Amino acid sequence: MGLSEQIAQFIITGLSIGAIYAIVAMGFNIIHNATGVVNFVQCEFISLGGMFMYTLVVLLRVPMFISFFMSMAAVALIGALIERGPIRYARSKEIIILIFLTIGLSGTLRGTAQQIWGTDNVGVPAFSGENPIHLPVGATLLPQHIWVFGVTVLVMLALRHFFKNTMSGKAMRATAVNRKAAALVGVSVDRMVMLSFALSGALGAVAGMIIAPISTTSYDTGIMLGLKGFAAAILGGYGSFSGAIIGGIMLGVLESLGAGLISSQYKDVIAFLVLLLVLFLRPTGIMGHGESERV
């Protein structure tokens, strides 16, 4: 196998992992824009998405397509409930307190998931077979990788449509820019915040479900993906949607190229060195602009 084929393989691999990071980063951003909080429950959204999918598809034998939307709805509901309960009724609205609250919630959810599903990693069948596809550039990928790309693109387009063209989406953006002004023109700010948690939940679940057939899933599989997604969000510029995509893809490709071309031993070191470098030169991230416009 020649070097160009190898590089093609590294990039394909990097893109598919990067797409997952991008979706996760998007989840972090949506909640950040609505509340200013870094929501660490995002990690659990990913694990829960994967585990619900496993329960429905493998244990209950529900068709894949239906399971996908059921899991997504279930995790979105959990996201909404988290906002409805602990976040809304927290006695302090200090950002730092709320962030710690999400860390606590994340632990609680993980512990509960562990009690329900145990600690084993479990596999989920691929959406459409496991026969490798050979690309003309010399790289191979699984049908599941195409699903990962496809679903990511669809999710991004849907989000774009939602934020640009629908009333709820516009109201959410208004809330992000200025909470008080949004309330004054009749936007139900509370509902928008809840919606942002539900949306993040759905995004996390999607990420967890599309990666599960490739990487297997477990009650704590979201920790690593969540942290990488968080790093991607920072890299792209925290709060920026296009930044989430760029940051995610960049992190994924860097990791893969670093492992493939330089040294697999220092894979994460290489990726995170670039992250540090970018933040050093551009503290707001690649697509971030100055002061973040949180509420």
Of the candidate residues 60, 112, 130, 153, the single one contacting other proteins (CB under 8 A): 130
Q: Angle of helix 189-215 relative to helix 64-82, nearest 10 degrees?
A: 140
- Choice between 115 and 165, CB closer to other proteins: 115
Of the candidate residues 141, 172, 205, 287, the single one contacting other proteins (CB under 8 A): 141
Of the candidate residues 1, 184, 185, 281, the single one contacting other proteins (CB under 8 A): 1
Q: How far apart are CA 233 and CA 196, in angstroms?
A: 16
Per CB under 8 A, 264 contacts other proteins: yes
Q: How far apart are CA 208 and CA 23, in angstroms?
A: 10
Q: How far apart are CA 157 and CA 15, in angstroms?
A: 18
Per CB under 8 A, 53 contacts other proteins: no
Pull the structure tokens for residue 275: 């992250």
The gap from C-alpha 123 to its chain's centroid, in whole angstroms, comes to 20
Q: Which range in 1-9, 24-32, 196-204, 232-240 contacts other proteins by CB under 8 A?
A: 1-9
* Pairing of β 133-134 and β 140-141: antiparallel
Q: How far apart are CA 101 and CA 107, in angstroms?
A: 10
Neighbours of 267 (CB within 10 A): 17
Of the candidate residues 65, 91, 119, 184, the single one contacting other proteins (CB under 8 A): 119
Count of residues that bind other proteins according to CB under 8 A: 40
Per CB under 8 A, 152 contacts other proteins: no
| Residues within window 190-219 making contact with other proteins, judged by CB under 8 A | 211, 214-216, 218
Per CB under 8 A, 115 contacts other proteins: no
Query: Are the C-beta atoms of residues 21 and 223 closer than 8 Å to each other?
Result: no
Q: Which range in 28-36, 139-147, 175-183, 279-287 contacts other proteins by CB under 8 A?
A: 139-147
Length of the chain: 295
Of the candidate residues 98, 142, 198, 203, the single one contacting other proteins (CB under 8 A): 142
Query: Are the C-beta atoms of residues 21 and 248 closer than 8 Å to each other?
Result: yes
Residues that bind other proteins (CB under 8 A): 1, 6, 9-10, 13-14, 16-17, 114, 118-123, 125, 130, 132, 134, 140-142, 211, 214-216, 218, 220, 223-225, 256-257, 259-260, 263-265, 267-268
